[in-house]
Amino acid sequence: MKNINSYRVFERNNKEPNKEGDYVLYWMQINRRFHYNFALEYATGWANKLNKPLLILEAFSCDYPWATERTHTFVMQGMKEHIEYADRLKLNYVSFVETESGQYEKLLKQLASKASLLVTDEYPVFIMRKRNEKYPLEMDMPYITVDSNGLIPLGFTEKDPYSAYLFRKIMQKNFVEAFTNPPKKAPLDELRNKKKIKLPGSYFENLPNGRDSLSNISETVSGLNINHNVGAIEWHGGRQAALGMLGRFTKDNLLEYDEKRNNPDEKKTSNLSPWLHFGKISEYEIVKAVLEHQPKDWDLDKITYNNGSTGGYFNGNPNIDGFLDEVITWREVGFHFAHHREDYDQFNSLPDWAIKTLNKHRDDPRKWTYSYEELENAQTHDQLWNAAQSQLRRDGIIHNYLRMLWGKKIIEWTPDPETALQYLIDLNNTYAIDGRDPNSYSGIFWCLGRFDRAWQERSVTGKLRYMSSENTRKKVKLKQYLATFGNQKELI
């Protein structure tokens, strides 16, 4: 039987390794970490097999869709931390921040031209997906993508799961095997050839110096041709910040997670999505840390297959079991969906029932309609919605429960579902620090029916699950939230 991790490896062009190459190249595109990283582990394995040193390239482009100061600052903070780590360990590590379109691609191709083979991150959405489709055709050596995104390898599912229930069944059958075949904590410890790689100076001619760009991040960012209206957030983009967040969560909030997570005022969720998005922390280490808080007599033998139902699988503390369902099932169902569906960001990827009901109601009169700018500037009649949008603008995130309401209302307040979808994608991916992720598309398309079922029919939104601000105010604790993000005078 094949090892579960073999389903993580995608040979993209079936070329033979170049034995004359100077090194193995690991191109760190999205899983920006040196620990618990299957792709880095795989590249290290190849370097050892060919007795070559390993070159790691971590770069950042300036012309990607929805590029903002916010994203740039967060990513560059992480890269700066990496320089210090790489120097300490004397790694062959190149960090590079592009200031003009095309520089990144040129450098990548130059570095690849001297490599025996190239390993990079498998990722099912956004520019990484496009690059991983385009570059293998343009390169002469093996171009291999390795999936280090979640526990169940992307190559393990045969088609797009249309519901969380369906994916949960697969997860339940394979969790133990996946969890007991984890990525190595420090794969670079096993690298044998530590020779210093000398790169020709000509590769870097007319390019900004990566180290200089990162020494003063705000200055570098201010000179880039990106959106400067969306500024940096308080959270730091490095791995240390992610580990700190995980530590605080498991210590203070995990054991009340399921009970209180829907109440914005309780602040019981992990806040880990920004670092998960940029791969600063792996899902495996989160799951491992969380399982360490199960009751003392709990072990993997307590797990019982439960046919895809939410409860009755981990059989531990319900708060922990609830968190695991979010971070494994709900996180990964979106990755697997996008992996199998090139149209993951298109209206037509919605289930048939959702398309049918939205078409039936597309001409229903709307009580309110807002332009993109009105929504962006939190100028609607709905104080709670405006508060959620204000949180997104300021902090780059919306509390999960309110994120659902935020998405649902945009469908009601736009002239047609396609416009709603476009506004949702643009607002989310511009302002959210965890945006441009498979989960961005899961969340947005969930509002339009993906991974959901038909509910009672109403005007405009048809059979989509309905959410109202009035009910949300009754259901969840919002006093502090509204005091921070809403208009004080209108507090109820």
Ligand X SMILES: Cc1cc2nc3c(=O)[nH]c(=O)nc-3n(C[C@H](O)[C@H](O)[C@H](O)COP(=O)(O)OP(=O)(O)OC[C@H]3O[C@@H](n4cnc5c(N)ncnc54)[C@H](O)[C@@H]3O)c2cc1C
Residues of this chain that interact with ligand X (CB under 6 A) are 261, 269-273, 276-277, 326-327, 330-331, 334, 400, 403-404, 407, 428, 432, 434-435, 437, 439-440, 442-444, 446-447
* Least Å from the CB of residue 130 to ligand X: 18
Whether the CB-CB separation of 208 and 31 falls below 8 Å is answered with no
* Least Å from the CB of residue 184 to ligand X: 22
Which is closer to ligand X, CB of 107 or CB of 378? 378
Which is closer to ligand X, CB of 98 or CB of 258? 258
Q: Which residue is nearest to ligand X (CB)?
A: 443
- Please give, one letter per residue, the 3-state secondary structure of 39-80: HHHHHHHHHHHHCCCEEEEEEECCCCCCCEHHHHHHHHHHHH
Distance between CA atoms of residues 46 and 54, nearest Å: 9
Which is closer to ligand X, CB of 118 or CB of 324? 324
203 token code pair:
């590769």
Distance between CA atoms of residues 17 and 15, nearest Å: 7
Which is closer to ligand X, CB of 141 or CB of 432? 432
Which is closer to ligand X, CB of 100 or CB of 426? 426
Which is closer to ligand X, CB of 313 or CB of 330? 330
* Least Å from the CB of residue 443 to ligand X: 2
Distance between CA atoms of residues 118 and 39, nearest Å: 11
* Least Å from the CB of residue 397 to ligand X: 7
Whether the CB-CB separation of 409 and 468 falls below 8 Å is answered with no
Whether the CB-CB separation of 41 and 11 falls below 8 Å is answered with no
* Least Å from the CB of residue 444 to ligand X: 5
* Least Å from the CB of residue 474 to ligand X: 20
Residue 472, amino acid: T
Give the single-character DSSP code of 202: G
* 342: CB partners within 8 A, 6+ apart: none
β strands within 267-418, DSSP E: none
